[in-house]
Structure 1
Amino acid sequence: VGGFWEVLFAIVRKHEINEGFFVTSILFALIVPPTLPLWQAALGITFGVVMAKEIFGGTGRNFLNPALAGRAFLFFAYPAQISGDLVWTAADGFSGATPLSQWAARGGEALVNNATGQPVSWFDAFIGTIPGSVGEVSTLMILIGGAIILFGRVASWRIVAGVMLGMILTATLFNLIGSATNPMFAMPWYWHLVLGGFAFGMMFMATDPVSASFTNKGKWYYGALIGAMCVLIRVVNPAYPEGMMLAILF
């Protein structure tokens, strides 16, 4: 579907087809739940490619990440399918809440693998034996892939470092403040790293060379604000425990 819109706009504007739509489509597929209906996936990628990229002139002229814009559209248009308790279904048909939703409701002690019924450890979350969207579950694989694009100079290490620093400082601040009613205040920074889409967003979304900051100093500020905003959204708004998407977009 993403390729269709890319070809259509290339024909209308009489320019070469840009292969960037492959990257957008792959990233979009990795950040949506595996149970998302195909027609909704088609609608989301259509919104991302057309409304977030093509109407601004195409690749290189968009100020929003098309893949994230498509996911944001689905989040607000079809929240039941894109968030909450129905984002992952085990092989036996059992549905359950994501680890972030579990922590937001009852704290770290409530983390349970819905497929096995066993408690979820930090290492489980790090290697990816937890429910979630396809691209977000294995922080280990994300970091390996991120290291490849960093060493290849495709992504900026300053943005990645800024996101990490912003997240660590903000999470530590909330840990020190504490809360008797909101379990998210107690989530340490190393849990923020492995739960939800933080690692994937840090490595593959925030580093988008088109929509990210261009100056070296700006990359530090840009990354730090994303990391801080992600934790802020997760903690202050437990009804929406995943904050990376909105942090990068806004």
Structure 2
Amino acid sequence: MFKKVLHKHWLAWLDKRIPPHSSHALNMRSVFILPSRFGWGFIVMCMCLFLLGTNYQNNLMLLLSYLLLSVMLLTLFYSYQNFAAIALSASSPKTVFANTSAHLTLNRIKHSDYKTTPEGLLQAHWLEINKLQLPRRKDTSTISFDIGNREQRLTVPLLLHTRGEHRLPRITFKSAYPFGLYHCWTHLDFDVKVIVYPEPKAGPVCEVVHNTEDAVGGKEDDRQGNEDFFALTDFIEGEPLNRVAWKQVAKTGNWVVKQFSEQKSDDVY
């Protein structure tokens, strides 16, 4: 219960700090940065070198610890500037069927504050997976993009299981460029909706075919028609007089009518 309340307040805080919009240009409010595991280990190593240098009064160790610490600080600023130069806009995904993947297409646009092109690998995954009744995040794969290439579009798939109109959740972007000492990330909401139709089910073929026995193997039979003479039958009151065999009536005096037939094949479905 406490986790749900905390998660709800965290999402409300994200909506205020990074409001939903069709396009995002990263800045200080939307970028989060902390040292990685390798970065924390790097800091511990610098502290150990500093302690050894002061304990043994070794100027080379002190110089090395200062040099590594300066690299750590410079990487902090460079990692932020490289990640904050990202600017993306979203295109509305096409409608899909249930249990199929919708693809959100993100277009790279020019950043108003940075003229440089970001470099390195950019990892992306969906943030609020359980909101759409999808598998947990550990069951979904993280998509990696090389943001330094010339490709101007990034495509992020999302598997949808329920029909209806869904508002796509936030996307988390991460980068550890250049040395992996820091992790830069952000949670962007592109305010995009997708319509999911019910999953189509397999059914019988509904096409009617009229053909002969040679073409489709249908069984032909003799049916009443107006083409070929078939036989003479007794006249029944009410039948049309144009079918009466007047020659037979004149010869025998018995009223008979002509019956005709035609070949028809069964309808094949």
The two structures have a TM-score, normalised by structure 1, of: 0.25
Structure with a larger share of its residues in strand? 2
Structure with a larger share of its residues in helix? 1
The two structures have a TM-score, normalised by structure 2, of: 0.24
Which structure's CA Rg is the greater one? 2
